[in-house]
Chains A and B, each alone.
Chain A
Amino acid sequence: MISRKPFYAVVALLFLAGLALSLYRHFTFEVPWLPGEQRQVWSIEAKVEFEATGRPVKASLAIPGTQQGFTLLNEAAASPGYGLSFLERNGGTRAEWTIRRAAGPQELYYRVEMMADPHAEAPVPLQAPVIAPHTNQEPYATAIRQVLNRALERSADGFSLTRELIRELDSQQQNAELLAQYQDKPRLLVEMLNRAGIAARVVKGLELEDGRRRQSLIDLLQVFDDDRVEIIDPETGHPGQRDNLLLWERHSSPVLDLVGGVNSRVTFSMIRQQLPVNVALEQKFEDSNLLNFSIHSLPLEEQALFKGILLIPIGVLVVVLMRILVGLKTSGTFMPVLIAMAFIQTSLATGLIGFLLIVSMGLVIRSWLSHLNLLLVARISAVIIMVIGIISLFSVLAFKLGLTEGLKITFFPMIILSWTIERMSLLWEEEGAKEVLTQGGGSLLVAVLAYLAMNNDLIRHLTFNFLGLQLVVMAAVLLLGNYTGYRLLELRRFQPLARED
């Protein structure tokens, strides 16, 4: 007897490979396990307003990039008459509008779509700014020293120092008022941190709230300590990056650099959209590599085709389960799968009615054919033509009666229906109507179950998005092919045997 070990190894391998592929897709490409999951996409519009002075204008606006918590999906700028380019400067990206001559009020727009994305990371790691030496004049130097010393005593690292500084500025009223004259709070904090040997800078953030208009950026502290970076709100001292806080400018550059204009202003408006996750992901991984081995890289039409094809293994699995574990009889092994696929096109009720109508009508006509003493191939061909006739007839009838649902009857696989009719008819002649009902009912039951499985949103989502699951189905089918236990219906069949003694 051949050892079953290689067999189980293959099954385990298939199962693990399938699982690994699926996990890979889930974690690397963030494909969710459940369907219908949506991602928040923020559509943010920055509006730059200024008075042009009639000379050449150059307006350079800092723009955000993919960062922790947000992925940039796409960006666009609207600015009639202006030349536009996106530039890299100091590690940050800027949109730069230029025009030879402009006068009067000007409006420039920049729009960006950012997806809330817990997995997102900035493409380039942050670099800590150089600590600049500061010399302060009295009386500010004393005030700074007092605040800093108090805070240094009570802190352990750069982050706690920042928090303590903010707290000290709140409690030491006099010093705080004095220092407020010297510099605004965020920059003052950066200076004090630098004195303590901590790298820090001021960055600009935007608080995201659905439907807000004319918002402005807020100042935030970015504090570096060793390898760690934290964003700290200079007003409250609260740490952490919040879900609704987008860092607009991260390199201590001005938000807007304007040459040739006055009275400039940058305001932001934003709306939140919910995008289905696959649409959002498609945009995110648009230019991904070969490793992104998924159906999504195919053209849309082929995708739709595959959506159906990838469901067939599920239907097949249902048939295998029903036949091996339950022991249902079906007429034609995989005929139920094909019927189920037709049901998907037609919807269940229409499909069932259509199927029963065609088969029962076919059986009536077939019984007449059997008197004609025809050769088998000719007879099957006749049945095929007859089925097409019945389908056409029902379609026209349904259309005339205004039942557009009835038109879907054309989705049935005609050759399969013909064979079903032929087999049922023979079964009827040889074994009687009871066997026809058993096998026909069994086929229909399996078809309905396969339909329910194949039409399930979750299963559709999983099979389409996780190709690895096909391997898992394969492993399951192989395992089932090895099942030597009783079938459910055998428990009833052999039940008289169990009753004795």
Chain B
Amino acid sequence: MGFWSRPKFTRPRVLSDKGIMGMNRRNIDYIGRYNPRRLYPLVDDKLQTKRIALACGVTVPDLIGTISQQHQVRHLAEMVQEWPGFCIKPAKGSGGKGITVIVRHDRTGYTKPSGAQETIDDLERHVSNILAGLYSLGGKPDVALIEALINFDDSFEGYSFEGVPDTRVIVFKGFPVMAMMRLSTDASDGKANLHQGAVGVGIDIGSGRAIRAVQFDQPVDHHPDTGRQLSELQVPDWETLLQLSASCYEMSGLGYLGTDMVLDKLRGPMLLELNARPGLAIQTANGAGLLPRLRRIEALDSQRMSVAQRVDYAREHFSIAS
């Protein structure tokens, strides 16, 4: 950095030259054009996503159960009794809202990843809130999902603080165009949302290796909590993960899609959730704009390409390392 003060704002010209996509363009030219409204329920409702994923043979975390009625809330404790850890999610939640993760529980209470203790009353209240539609879009009544915890892969040890690192891949017309890993931090309270302070690591589509990392939109080199060098990050099983992501296009029918994947120690890449309105922070994490890649695919006749062909095409053309 120079010793002059950084300019706060950049010129639109600079951004458009780099192909950075803005929120308005995303909404009009991609989400509005490629994502038919009628398909939204498939991704906005995690229960439906799970259903179609299972139908297509895509691996997803195990479902312990669902709670859809207020009177079922009392059965929460017995529902999770057999499971060492679990997480409670609103089926129609957005942006990671309303997700509570319990890593272990015993007679004294339920422990969150941060070590904070919750009582069964806290959890029941949380489920009630979910049912009342507190976290759902438009405040509609919702269903609570109770899912098994993911045994996350050891290769990510030290990269994430109190949370599951997940991989967001933007899939455009079935092509994985950009990827990033989201690492939870102390600041993000174990959540993988970048605007809450999670670290975003841009992942090279070609190799699955880290390109650069940002926190709060500013570049970082080390994980702020664990101090681990982020440039060493390499996602194992990258090819499988990309193929899984790319196949979500056929599964959901959505042309512009954000797929959130996790790596399970035992079961490999798993689909966590789909997002019909994926955010733009992935560009900052990658240090690159989405537009050139999206335009390249728009210009391509991709009608007959198989999942494997699409992944190969993406790895060849969207790789930084090559």
Contact = CB atoms under 8 A, between A and B. Distances in A.
Interface string A369-394: 00001011100000000000000000
Contacts of A478: none
Contacts of A498: 10-11, 14-15, 18
Interface string A457-489: 000000000000000000000000111111110
A430 B193 CA distance: 12
Contacts of A484: 22, 24-25, 28-29
A1 interface: yes
A242 interface: no
Interface string B213-229: 01001110000000000
A494 B8 contact: no
A482 B15 contact: no
For chain A, which range describes its interface: under 10, 10 to 19, 20 to 34, or 35 or more residues? 20 to 34
Interface stretch (B106-114, B124-132, B266-274, B302-310): B124-132
B321 interface: no
Nearest to B196: A431
Contacts of A373: 121, 124-125, 128
B66 interface: no
A490 B22 CA distance: 7
Interface residues of B, number: 42
Contacts of B6: 495, 499
A137 B124 CA distance: 121
B218 A496 contact: yes
A492 interface: yes
B128 A430 contact: no
Contacts of B280: 490
Of B22, B24, B283, most buried by chain A (CB within 10 Å of CB) is B24
B149 interface: no
Could you tell me the dominant secondary structure of chain A's interface residues? helix
B134 A495 contact: no
B20 interface: yes
B11 A491 contact: yes
A327 interface: yes
B287 interface: yes
A331 to B, nearest CB: 14
Contact of A490 (B23, B125, B133): B23
A95 interface: no
A452 B287 CA distance: 40
A5 interface: no
B128 A494 contact: no
Interface in B87-126: 97-98, 121, 124-125
Nearest to B134: A376
B259 interface: no
Contact of A496 (B124, B128, B284): B284
A482 B25 CA distance: 9
A491 B10 contact: yes
Contact of B10 (A376, A485, A494): A494
A365 to B, nearest CB: 18
Contacts of B283: 494, 497
A487 B15 contact: no
B4 interface: no
B12 A491 contact: yes
Interface in B1-49: 6-12, 14-16, 18, 20, 22-25, 28-29, 33
B15 A496 contact: no
Contact of A500 (B8, B24, B98, B287): B287
Contacts of B217: 493-494, 496
Interface in B42-83: 70
Nearest to B20: A494
Given A1-B33, A491-B12, A494-B10, A485 B24 contact: yes
A426 interface: yes
A500 B97 CA distance: 33
Interface in B132-149: 132-134, 139
A492 B10 CA distance: 6
A430 to B, nearest CB: 6
B133 A495 contact: no
Nearest to B6: A499
A383 to B, nearest CB: 13
Nearest to A324: B24
Nearest to B218: A496
A484 B32 CA distance: 12
A494 B29 CA distance: 19
Contacts of A1: 33
A327 B22 CA distance: 10
B192 to A, nearest CB: 14
A495 B8 CA distance: 7
Given A373-B125, A376-B129, A486 B12 contact: yes
Interface in B202-237: 214, 217-219
Contacts of B196: 431
Given A491-B10, A497-B15, A497-B284, A327 B97 contact: no
A329 to B, nearest CB: 10
A373 B124 CA distance: 9
A487 B284 CA distance: 16
A376 B219 CA distance: 40
Contacts of A483: 24, 28
Contacts of B22: 484-487, 490
A488 B134 CA distance: 31
Interface string A26-39: 00000000000000
Given A431-B196, A497-B18, A492 B9 contact: yes
A494 B218 CA distance: 9
A485 B214 contact: no
Nearest to B27: A484
A232 B117 CA distance: 101
Contacts of A430: 97-98
Nearest to B286: A497
Contacts of B18: 497-498
B281 to A, nearest CB: 9
Given A375-B132, A497-B20, A491 B121 contact: no
17 contacts: A1-B33, A373-B121, A376-B133, A485-B12, A485-B22, A486-B16, A486-B20, A486-B24, A487-B22, A490-B22, A490-B23, A491-B12, A493-B284, A495-B7, A495-B8, A497-B287, A498-B11
9 closest Cβ pairs, A-B complex: A376-B132, A484-B25, A498-B10, A486-B22, A373-B125, A498-B14, A495-B10, A491-B9, A486-B12
Interface of B: 6-12, 14-16, 18, 20, 22-25, 28-29, 33, 70, 97-98, 121, 124-125, 128-129, 132-134, 139, 196, 214, 217-219, 280, 283-284, 287-289
Given A497-B15, A498-B10, 9 more contacts: A376-B129, A430-B97, A484-B25, A486-B22, A487-B23, A490-B280, A491-B15, A494-B15, A497-B20
